[in-house]
C-alpha cells in the first residue's frame, strides 16, 4: 500500500496507462482516469472500483478547455491531487513520420502536437492543484527510449524529437518546482506490448529484434513493467528524487544488435 492516501491522475485508459491505474489502485491510491475514449475510461473505472475510490473524465488532452475541465472534475471528486502519470501520446507513422527527409510538415506537426501538448497541459493543471496543498506532489511523464538510444530498425524522427522535448520539460519543471516539493521525473520505456505497438508486435522480424535488443524481457516489455517503476516514482520512497530519466527498456540502451 505504498500509495495509500494519494490521489493520482492517469492520462490514458489502455496499455501503459491502464497498467498504471491498476497498480496504483492496488497500492491504495484513489485514481482519476482521463482519456479521449469515454468507453475505455468507464470500463477501466468499473474494473478498479472494487479496489478503492475511482473517477474518470473523457477528454481530448490536446484540447485546452477539455483538459482544464477534466482536472476540475478530479478536484471536485477528490479535492486533492498528489500524483500525475502522464501517458497519452501516439505514433505519427500514419501521418508520415519516418526518416527526416521523408517527413511531411503536416506529419511533423501532428506527431509533435499529439506527443507534446497532452503532457504539457496535464502537467500544468496537475501542478496548479499540487501547489494548493502543503505536501507537494509527484509528476511522472512517459517518454521513449528512442529519444536517447535511436535504432536504425525504428526510424521515426518526429516521434524521437517529441520525446526528447519531454526530457527537457521534465528537467526544467523539476528545477523550478523543487521548492514547492513537487517532483518531476520521466520513464523512458523500450518496446512495450500496447495497442500502439500492435502492428510491430505482430511482425515476426520485429519480435525477433526485440528479443535480442531487450534480453531482460525476452522480447516486448509488459506494460506492468513500466507501472512498477511509476509506483516507485510516485511513492514516498522516491521522495528525494526529481529531474531524472528512468530507462525501463529490458536492456535496449546497452545492447548491440
Supply the residues annotated as catalytic: 159
Residue 233 contacts residue 246 (beta carbons within 8 Å): yes
H or E element, residue 142: strand 137-142
- Grid cell for residue 143: 517518454
Report residue 9: phi and psi, to 5°.
-90, 135
- Grid cell for residue 98: 519516418
- Grid cell for residue 90: 501516439
H or E element, residue 42: helix 38-48
- Enumerate residues 6+ apart whose C-beta is below 8 A from 202: none
- Enumerate residues 6+ apart whose C-beta is below 8 A from 66: 59, 60
Q: Taking the C-alpha atoms of 45, 49, 55 and 58 in order, what is their torsion angle to the nearest 10 degrees?
A: 10
Report residue 97: phi and psi, to 5°.
-65, 140
Residue 60 contacts residue 66 (beta carbons within 8 Å): yes
d(C-alpha 164, C-alpha 190), whole Å = 14
- Smallest Cα–Cα separation from 246: which of 178, 181, 166, 173? 166
Amino acid at each position: 500500500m505504498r500509495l495509500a492516501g494519494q490521489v493520482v491522475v492517469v492520462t490514458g485508459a489502455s496499455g501503459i496507462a491502464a497498467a498504471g491505474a491498476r497498480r496504483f489502485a492496488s497500492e491504495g491510491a484513489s485514481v482519476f482516469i482521463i482519456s479521449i475514449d469515454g468507453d475505455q475510461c468507464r470500463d477501466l473505472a468499473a474494473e478498479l472500483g472494487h479496489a478503492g475510490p475511482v473517477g474518470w473524465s473523457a477528454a481530448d488532452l490536446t484540447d485546452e478547455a477539455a483538459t482544464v475541465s477534466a482536472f476540475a472534475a478530479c478536484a471536485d471528486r477528490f479535492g486533492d491531487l498528489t500524483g500525475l502519470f502522464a501517458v497519452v501520446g501516439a505514433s505519427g507513422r500514419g501521418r508520415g513520420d519516418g526518416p527526416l527527409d521523408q517527413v511531411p510538415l503536416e506529419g511533423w506537426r501532428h506527431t509533435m502536437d499529439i506527443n507534446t501538448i497532452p503532457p504539457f497541459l496535464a502537467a500544468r493543471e496537475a501542478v496548479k492543484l499540487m501547489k494548493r496543498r502543503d505536501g507537494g506532489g509527484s509528476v511522472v511523464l512517459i517518454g521513449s527510449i528512442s529519444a536517447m538510444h535511436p535504432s536504425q530498425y525504428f526510424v521515426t524522427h518526429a516521434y524521437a524529437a517529441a520525446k526528447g522535448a519531454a526530457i527537457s520539460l521534465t528537467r526544467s519543471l523539476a528545477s523550478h518546482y523543487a521548492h514547492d516539493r513537487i517532483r518531476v521525473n520521466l520513464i523512458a520505456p523500450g518496446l512495450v506490448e500496447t495497442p500502439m505497438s500492435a502492428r510491430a508486435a505482430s511482425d515476426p522480424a520485429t519480435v525477433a529484434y526485440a528479443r535480442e535488443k531487450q534480453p531482460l524481457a525476452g522480447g516486448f516489455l509488459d506494460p506492468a513493467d513500466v507501472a512498477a517503476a511509476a509506483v516507485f516514482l510516485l511513492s514516498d520512497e522516491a521522495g528525494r528524487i526529481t529531474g531524472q530519466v528512468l530507462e525501463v527498456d529490458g536492456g535496449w540502451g546497452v545492447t548491440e544488435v
